[in-house]
Chain A
Amino acid sequence: MIPLYWYVLFATALFCIGLFGVLTRKNSVAILMGIELMLNAVNVNLLAFWRYLYADPTVEPTRGLAFVAIVFVAASAEAAVGLALIISAYRRRDTVVAEELDLLKG
């Protein structure tokens, strides 16, 4: 029997690793990869709670699944648009290094 908190810890770790990647990596695509990791951690968390609260009669059984579906959709949409942006930025500025995209500087 796997206690719920194992899954929560796992999701937390994955989330933090993804966060670390977002904050640290220079390459914008790497940042996006970190974001994907974070979203996956969220999904793991949601599904863990769905599975472990399935027996609870007050919880609608498909709720967790619907939530995860939406997260999937959002992740996909965001990945598509993000990568499109990165490509566009690459075309304009010839760089994907996040540090060099500093038009907000000042």
Chain B
Amino acid sequence: MPIQIFFLIVAAITLISAVMVVTVRRMMHAALWLVLSLFGVALIFALLDASFYAVIQLIVYIGAIAILVIFAVMLTRRVMDDDAAQTNKNWWVALIAVLVVFGGIAATALSWTRLQVGPGIPPGDSILVDFGTALINPQKYAIPFEVSSVLLLAAVIGAIYVAVDRKGGKG
């Protein structure tokens, strides 16, 4: 029982802050709400016995990505124009589409009886070691691991290249 209540509270916080992210006018507020929603997601990860990822979420998403977003907001802020409406025209079309998508997927999910199951045995303590060895095991996930490192490399190079200011000045 308590676990369900816990889950509901965390889900509510996360969802509400997510709504805030997409609706508030001032970008800085949106970024901070994003941080809160990411934190909620981390709690969900913890609920799912994926403690490793809860921590990774905190470090990577909140610690790096959200900070990056905050930097981007600050870098692209215009002078005192944050009070303008932040949603574009025809937002209601998007709302309807989104609601329908949600309704459809939700209806589908609720109709699957296989999703009514409860959790099975929890992962053991060796899960992390197993995960680590799996990542470098050529029969398992070594290749995606390497490819993703290449991806990161490419992203780094690309980001630097795109963002460098050729005229000199702030970089």
Contacts and interface: CB of A to CB of B under 8 A. Distances in A.
Do these two chains interact?
yes
SS class, residues of chain A in contact with chain B: helix
B80 interface: no
B94 A5 contact: no
26 contacts: A3-B117, A5-B109, A5-B110, A5-B112, A9-B106, A13-B102, A24-B87, A24-B91, A26-B88, A29-B73, A30-B86, A50-B48, A51-B123, A55-B121, A61-B123, A66-B134, A66-B135, A69-B135, A73-B152, A76-B64, A77-B152, A79-B65, A79-B69, A80-B156, A81-B162, A84-B160
A13 B44 CA distance: 14
A88 B86 contact: no
Contacts of B88: 24-26, 98-99
B168 interface: no
B75 A90 contact: yes
Interface residues of B, number: 86
Contacts of B156: 80
B56 interface: yes
A66 B38 CA distance: 20
A16 B3 CA distance: 25
B151 A20 contact: no
A51 B115 CA distance: 12
Given A44-B41, A44-B44, A76-B64, A1 B119 contact: yes
Contact of B120 (A7, A13, A30, A56): A56
A80 B159 CA distance: 6
A72 B148 CA distance: 10
Contacts of A37: 18, 21-22, 34, 37
B9 interface: no
Q: Closest 5 interchain pairs by CB? A: A55-B120, A21-B22, A77-B155, A23-B94, A84-B159
Nearest to B85: A26
B138 interface: no
Contact of A66 (B44, B52, B57, B144): B144
A54 B102 contact: no
A87 B75 contact: yes
Contacts of A101: none
Nearest to B114: A4
A49 to B, nearest CB: 9
